[in-house]
Amino acid sequence: MARCTFLGLGVMGAPMAGWLQRKGHDVTVWNRTISRAQTWCDDHGGKTAVTPDAAITEAQFIFMCLGDDPDVRKVFDAFEPGLREGVIVVDHTTASPELARELYERCAAKGAAFIDAPVSGGQAGAQNGQVTIMAGGDQPAFDKAAPIMDAYAKQMTLIGEAGAGQLAKCVNQICIAGIVEGLAEGLHFAKRAGLDEAKVIEAISKGAAQSWQMENRWETMTRGHYEHGFAIDWMRKDLRIALEHARKSGARLPVAALVDQFYADVQGMGGNRWDTSSLLARYETPGAAANDA
């Protein structure tokens, strides 16, 4: 059993923290909306704290799952004075590699360790304890944290030094953007060609076109059901991080940049909280894709 603090109880953080408690760890939680933390405790047990610094008092492991760089920095600033030697801080937020490197150094100055550990698998993966973790940091710290993260992970890989986990998450989101756009175009083409989408998917889903997105999203896409999964607002944040780093490194991401603009179009349709598969809605809304080839 480990003494764990979990900071941030959103759609990913709440179930991941729940798995820690379920697996027998001693969990203290904090959330910006205090009532959500109390509800979590009512559902799972554990303890709640009213501030991040109060939450980490006895922690061996501090987990964060927040929104963006400013959120992570604000929370870290709040508990940094109380950070003790030997504590391992694990950030599951998808944030910038630059911030990961900064927090790694700040933890090291306290004799603590930092691991950037963004996750993939979406809300369903978190709820089922089946997220994939791509991590950056030092091997000894990762080896200590891995058995704890095993409570909610199906796969964990230490990619490299601090920041490498966040860069790997960029790769993940770049790939997803292209796959979802391809699926949206394919379904749009099938519908306009008068084909039975279900039969088309049955025919192609066991071949080279197969993907997780196809298996799990094609049907909801054809129904126009987008109130689930990973919101466009968050996907655009992730693509922003990837595109910013690409400009610094000289990487060329023409498809990711284009899909990011397509997501901006869907936001303009009011789809900020729609799932990333809602790219199809752009093709089915008059005028939304008027400038496409």
Which listed residue (169, 199, 206, 237) is catalytic? Answer: 169
Residues 6+ apart with CB under 8 A from 29: 5, 6, 7, 9, 17, 37, 40, 41, 46, 47, 48, 49, 55
Residues listed for the chain? 293
Active site residue 169: yes
First-to-last alpha carbon distance for the chain, in angstroms, is 58
Catalytically active residues are 169
